[in-house]
Amino acid sequence: MIYLDYAANHPVDPAVLQRFCSVEQTFPGNPNSRHEAGRTASGEMQKITALIAEMLDVDPASIIYTSGATEANNLAVKGLARTTRHCGRHIISTAIEHPSVSASLTWLQEQGYEIDLLPLRTDGTVDLEELEYLLRKDTVLVTIPAVDSELGTVQPIRQIRELIQNFPNCHLHVDATQAVGRIPFDFSLADTVSLAPHKFGGLNGCGILVKRTDLVLEPILHGGGSTTIYRSGTPALALAASLETAMRLALEEQDSRVSHVLELSAKLKKALSAYPLVRINSPAGAVPHILNLSVEGIRGAEMQRQLDRKGICVSVKSACSVEGTPSRAVFAVSKNRNTARNSWRISLSHLTTEQEIDAFLKQFDLLYHELTGDNK
């Protein structure tokens, strides 16, 4: 099998798994319990949280552990909207959000919130002039992905922050799930930021919402206070420890991982661009681990099926989105329904080898001629 879907899920690093097992076996207590085992677990939880906070350059009190980025996005979007409902019900977002953000916004719309979606420029970034035009006194939330999962566009978060600065009721939520562990990200720019370690060698089933410490959020899960009033449940100590290891490895090795992926991505782009019916949808400035493309006349889902038959895993839209509909993200940059319907995504990692890229290109070449009938 050739796995080219690392933006959907990244295999766990053996060191991460080892840390999980060792912490799970060493600390039997519930960090909320008031006895020795509980106090020891709680002390370890605090140590781990401090290490994560140091790596992200945030206050340890701003870290809320969640079950993943889906929960972190739900908590931020719904929690912020509910807390600020007396200030307004206007929200600005984009068509390139992960379904965990866009479906939360649809839910809020059903509760009477007004949602405006920012258009994208041809380079995939949000239209800042339009943002300036749409911002109002009753805008309570702007939500933008740092990097979207389909095209890999890096959004100008600093400039967005500057525009929002003049609107005191407005908060900025950034879904940084495809950015953290892959490219540098400045957490001080947003009020809330979500991330998940299974995108960079960590385990599934955990994530973080980083929340500015002075900001109040209405929780979505109700129960005992746990490590924070914002997320009830027994703190998952071993998952937090595994997240810390995954993040440390990703940050320490970030430069070498990026340069390896850059080389492979350049080779892929060069080879694929030579086919007359291929259109590269990812903008030039996209992160190197994500490459979105369309083959004219061939549905993305068909391409995925055919590649799957040959043992190659790629993705159509994000793994959590509705099947059979054109990609909203690709439509937003191409303005072409067919291009959006025909789009699919290759995503790479430092684990991807040049031999895998060569083998993929060989199979793609055969399929391209077979499916398009282009034998030139």
Per-residue contact string for residues 300-339; x = within reach of ligand PLP by CB under 6 A: ------------------xxx-------------------
Near ligand PLP in 343-362, by CB under 6 A? none
* φ/ψ (deg, to 5) at 294: -130, 145
Q: Which two tokens stand for residue 54?
A: 């140091």
Tell me the closest approach of the beta carbon of residue 347 to ligand PLP, in angstroms: 10
The sign of the dihedral angle between the CA atoms of 41, 51, 225, 178 is negative
Which of 5, 13, 44, 175 forms a contact with ligand PLP (CB under 6 A)? 175
Alpha helices in 85-183 (DSSP H): 99-110, 128-134, 157-164
Question: In sequence order, what E strands does 67-155 have?
Answer: 90-94, 114-118, 139-145
> 345 with 316: CB under 8 angstroms?
yes
Near ligand PLP in 92-151, by CB under 6 A? 98, 100, 145, 149
Among the listed ranges 84-92, 112-120, 171-179, 351-359, the one in contact with ligand PLP (CB under 6 A) is 171-179
How far is 130 from 127, CA to CA, in rounded Å? Answer: 5
* φ/ψ (deg, to 5) at 375: -110, 20
Alpha helices in 167-295 (DSSP H): 237-252, 254-273
Question: Which entry of 87, 206, 313, 320 is annotated as an active-site residue?
Answer: 320
Tell me the closest approach of the beta carbon of residue 132 to ligand PLP, in angstroms: 25
195 is a site residue for ligand PLP (CB under 6 A): no
68 is a site residue for ligand PLP (CB under 6 A): yes
Size of the site for ligand PLP (CB under 6 A): 18
Tell me the closest approach of the beta carbon of residue 110 to ligand PLP, in angstroms: 21
- Reply yes or no on whether 320 is catalytic: yes
Read off the amino acid at residue 263.
E
DSSP assignment of 2-28? EE-BTTT--PPPHHHHHHHHHHHHH--
- Which residues are known catalytic residues? 320
Residues contributing to the site for ligand PLP (CB under 6 A): 8, 68-70, 73, 98, 100, 145, 149, 175, 177-178, 196, 198, 207, 318-320
